[in-house]
Structure 1
């Protein structure tokens, strides 16, 4: 298997794990802050470990390109998850 496969697998796994955990917590607890913080910490842990691994493998442009990609994926996952959780929270509260 190539490093490209591992790279995309890490991004996909981070998306699935983070969103699954965040949505699951939101459905169970209905607490936006808790769901957001727990999913943020899990996502951060995944991408910090992945970034350290990637930086140890490559030098120069390949290293910077890979780390930039991990950074973009981290931010995208968090933004998409937050808006999804926010919509879930908004729909779960009864209108006054």
Structure 2
């Protein structure tokens, strides 16, 4: 006789949206507005691909400069890079 498994109890199509919605409702970070959902990240997370390339800008470096009329300011280029993330399918 086979035992009961999680597949017998949890229907992912029904359970997953509930968990995501409840997590967002209860999360203090989400409620504060610091984080929000993004259609782009939702699309990436639902793809079948195992890895995703995510672009980002490198941190700015150097000291702040005083802007004085008649003098030139020094500047550096803004550098971008990419992170590679993986989708954990558990």
TM-score, with length taken from structure 2 = 0.27
- Specify which structure has the higher proportion of strand: 2
Larger radius of gyration: 2
Bigger RCO (CA 8 Å, 6+ sep): 1
Larger helix fraction of residues:
1
- Give TM-score scaled by structure 1 length: 0.26
